[in-house]
Amino acid sequence: MKMQSNYNPDVLSCLANLSSDEVFTPPKLANEILDLLPKELWKDKNATFLDPVSKSGVFLREIAKRLLEGLQDEIPDLQKRIDHIYTKQIFGIGITELTSLLSRRSVYCTKEANHEKYAICTKFDDNRGNIFFDDTKHDWKNGRCSYCGASQSEYEREQGLETHAYQFIHNNLPNKLKNMKFDVIIGNPPYQLNTGGSVESQAIPIYNKFIEQAKKLSPRYLTMIIPSRWFTGGFGLDKFRESMLQDDRLRVIHDYVDASDCFPGVQIKGGVCFFLWDRDNTGLCKVYTHGNQTISHSERRLLEPELSTFIRWNEAVSIIQKVRSKKEPSFVDIVSPRDPFGLNYFEEKREIMFKKFQRKPFKNGIAIYSQGWLKDGISYADKKYVTTRTELVDKWKVFISKAYGASENYPHQILNKPFIGKPGSCCNMTYLVIGGYDKKEIASNVVSYIQTRFFRFLVSLRKNTQNAYRQVYSFVPMQDFSGPWTDEKLYKKYKLTKEEIEFIESMIRPMN
């Protein structure tokens, strides 16, 4: 059987996604991921493969096609080869009953694996074949599932409704798979779950749990495609990120800055990546970064010395090393956390603030920058409502919005424009506050620094969603603000090469 290079038309490339968090894998992408695996696997009749998060069945289908070709010499009879591959080598677990049916249809050519007329495998005794789905329950403890963290209020649903209690991570492996050892675990897991919390924390990552569970089964190879947000952030991902970045069995990463390069028409902030984890081989990781109309490649450690996160762009590593060699304090030290002045901390206080806001200045009142609450973005209230950083109210300071959305195209602006806050002003949690100064001139010099491409490039290495909380400034070095800053001065100070400067300027657009 000759491998296909063109998958159009292919019904699996035309499926509408279940949601932005449960995305069908296009056949072309599935094969790019399968290409990470050693070629000799396709000629090994004893190799076993598991997709524990099967949706369309595309991984199992493409694996079967490769094995059918690779085992031609060892098992010449086509039907015997099909029967062997389908019963002994490929296995799947659907994420829902619907996707298990869809997967069987893709892999076995019928939703009933033992269908007398249409099933292509002749050796299955039941209609599930080797693609399973068993109804699974969440384990509720204190309002959360102890396995996946799902909110009981969101996912304890009446019979017949999908609960998203994914079988693979809920300690509910099918009996046939419990004692099996797999050579390859592969898949595209669900990405997140709604927590039922506030707007600020309405979803938690879940893809990490599938990877952790897969590692527990100790396959020879593990490869999955997941959001790239784990490189630098993500609620509840600290331990996962640390374990991944320190795991020298992670041998290849393909990182796509724009997720639509993998999943056409799907927007996943921060992009997506797929990787190869090799249980029996350790060493440096081959990192391929796909973005800005280029593919860069390097072989390196995932965690640079003294850094707590992954440097996404290979070209940025040398720049970071030059910046950090000066051992300067971090700019993050003068950036506030969100809700700088304590105006939004309690819901009941917010209601009070709404009632006490006034449109015009009044005696002893302070200006509150609160874009999103009022159309003109500024209102006035009594200073007594400020509960934190009261000492900054009567200082000059710099405000910058905590969020700035950008397209996936380069160059980016990365941050919204900063502006100077006069003495007698504060802000709600729409903004972060930077520093507190006795002179307006110093605040202006801070603004000049933020507006440089150099500054915003270093921020971009930590910022992979629209939110720009305090931690995204941690790579930025502190400067002497007795004078203004320009990119030219910064490039010279850190002795950046022509190539490094060109890379920064290809990534970051001017801020006028």
Return d(Cα 318, Cα 476) in angstroms, integer.
Answer: 15
What CA–CA distances, in Å, run from 21 to 204, 207, 268, 269, 419? Answer: 11, 10, 8, 11, 36
pLDDT tens-digit readout, 370-398? 765 444 578 788 888 888 999 999 999 99
CA torsion through residues 17, 19, 20, 22, sign: negative
Checking if the pLDDT of 129 tops 70, the result is: yes
Strands (E), 153-263: 184-187, 192-194, 203-205, 221-227, 250-256
Checking if the pLDDT of 200 tops 70, the result is: no
User: Which of 50-64, 185-199, 234-248, 255-269 holds the top average pLDDT?
Assistant: 50-64
Lowest mean pLDDT of 140-149, 157-166, 201-210, 403-412, name the range.
Answer: 403-412
The full set of domains in the chain, from first to last, is: 1-134+174-186 (no CATH), 189-314 (3.40.50.150), 331-507 (no CATH)
Per-residue pLDDT, 267: 83
Checking if the pLDDT of 436 tops 90, the result is: yes
Return d(Cα 435, Cα 398) in angstroms, integer.
Answer: 7
Tell me if 453 sits within 8 A of 487, measured CB to CB: yes
Per-residue pLDDT, 304: 76
Per-residue pLDDT, 2: 44
Per-residue pLDDT, 351: 55
State both tokens at 154.
Answer: 């969101």
Per-residue pLDDT, 439: 97
Confidence band of 201 (pLDDT split at 50, 70, 90) = very low
What average pLDDT does this structure show over 115-127? Answer: 89
| Averaged pLDDT of the chain | 88
Per-residue pLDDT, 1: 41
Tell me if 455 sits within 8 A of 469, measured CB to CB: no
Lowest mean pLDDT of 80-94, 161-175, 228-242, 251-265, name the range.
Answer: 228-242
Per-residue pLDDT, 7: 46
